[in-house]
Chains A and B, each alone.
Chain A
Amino acid sequence: MLEVAYATSYALLRPFRRILKPGTKMESLFVFGEKITKRPLFDCQMCGDCVLHSTGMTCPMTCPKNLRNGPCGGVRPNGHCEVVPDMPCVWVKAWERSSKMPSYGSGILSIIPPPDQRLVGSSAWVNEFSRISGTPPDGWE
């Protein structure tokens, strides 16, 4: 369901990619839009380098260690976080959900490069379409 929403949003926004530029009024609008939609839906941390579709539509930045490549070895026997004992591990959820995602589910198996920390607080959609995010550092693979 969320996967379909992602794919639809991508398809709808793609034609407007020319006007989706960082530093514009349009970006401010998108930042606002993402805050009011992605925050309640995913507890989005506004990293600006969104990989939700590769992580079972579960925000990996809510992991206290900001892990973007799978669960750490500290997951408690009840499936909760080692750092915040009351919180179910983000990655336990991510893996369950990704197994139900036919199109993007396998993304969880690929290695996600380190995030660009300059993008924190900016619009992930604008970064995506202006190819600012998703480009790993030069020395990466």
Chain B
Amino acid sequence: MKSGSRLERVLRSGRFAVTAELTPPRTTDPEAIYDHARVVVASCDAVNTIDSSGASANVSSLAMAALLTRQGHDVVMQLTCRDRNRIAIQSDILGAAALGVRNLLCLTGDGVQAGDQPETKPVFDLESMTLLSTARNMRDKGCLLSGRAIDAPPRLFLGAASNPFAPPHDVRPLRLAKKVEAGADFIQTQYCFDVDRLQSFMSAARDRGLHEKAFILIGVGPLRSARTAEWMRENVPGVVISDDIVSRMKGAPRGRQKAEGTRICVEIIEQVREIPGVSGIHLMAYRQEELIPEILNAVGLLPREPDGESSTRPLETSGSTQR
């Protein structure tokens, strides 16, 4: 065990894992954060906390991770290179580990242009690949990039992202191999709306034995409406939605589009589960988190098996927000 996180234990025991993304709220009220998180944490093995989602300011990934970890939930903390240099990144990794975070998703991050403050200075001192290597060295060699020793090295299960659906398609498995070499223990992919494309990606990954070196979780999520589908593929970097899916959404009457989006999501999960080398799914239900239990019930992935030991010991801190 590299981290002992719930996610790592579920995956290593061969169970099909479910992670889900939690849209960060724009609030400072911890109760509102807990209310918002409730439906998501109850339905999955680990919850992803997003780092300034869509390149906009939100409750920080580290703070969200700390709040949820206090409650005993397993968190995948997302960390991007857009807003911090290598010093800040290493400090945040140490701080997160000290707070009990055991899973870290190493990302480059969307460009600042994707957000509501495109005039921001982008950092990108590191990138996903060098961030992964840095975190792996901190864990395995117990030192910072400078070589300076860490007293108690972080115990982390390291994740990376992959987008099998973006060009250049033949490069995607090679880039995945590079991420595995850089230290990725698990992979979470971008939204899958094209199972055929995923099949060929997974087949290339299997040829290289990558599914045996890292656990691959496929990103899925329900579309809210035909309009959302069109908006997402135009505006969200890396989301590829085929015309077939859009026309299927358009084919449903206005009041039934949300249900159609959920049905498509369920169908995709059923197909994805059958692909050899797939270890789990990563649900992204942006502002429709309430649909997560319905979707997981439909595919027989609920309830999640209770996990004997708590992945993280709740912190012994005083404060009204602690539970």
Looking across the interface, which residue of chain B has its beta carbon closest to that of A66?
B124
**B137 interface contact, C-beta 8 A:** yes
* B168 with A75: CB separation less than 8 A: yes
B59 interface residue, CB < 8 Å from A? Answer: no
- Tell me the chain B residues, 66-112 only, with Cβ under 8 Å from chain A: 81-82, 86, 108-111
**Interface residues of A, CB < 8 Å — how many?**
33
Count CB-based A-B contacts (< 8 Å).
122
Chain B residues positioned under 8 Å from A141 (CB to CB): 133, 137
Q: Are B145 and A70 in contact (CB under 8 A)?
A: no
Known: A69-B178, A73-B161. A137 touches B146 (CB 8 A): yes
CB pair A74–B174 under 8 Å, yes or no, is no
B161-180 Cβ-contact flags toward A at 8 Å (1 or 0): 11100111001001101100
In terms of DSSP, what is the predominant structure of the interface of chain B? loop
A72 at the interface (CB under 8 A from B): yes
CB contact between A82 and one of B177, B178, B182, B237 (< 8 Å): that residue: B237
A138 at the interface (CB under 8 A from B): yes
Interface centre among A72, A83, A95, by most chain B C-beta atoms within 10 angstroms, is: A72
Chain A residues in 8 Å Cβ range of B240? 77
Bound-complex Cα distance A76 to B237 (A): 7
Contact yes or no, B129 A69, CB < 8 A: yes
Nearest CB of chain A from residue B209's CB, rounded to whole Å:
15
Q: Are A137 and B166 in contact (CB under 8 A)?
A: no
B238 on interface, CB distance cutoff 8 Å: yes
Interface residues of B (CB under 8 A from A): 81-82, 86, 108-111, 113-114, 122, 124-130, 133-134, 137, 141, 143-148, 161-163, 166-168, 171, 174-175, 177-178, 181-182, 190, 237-238, 240
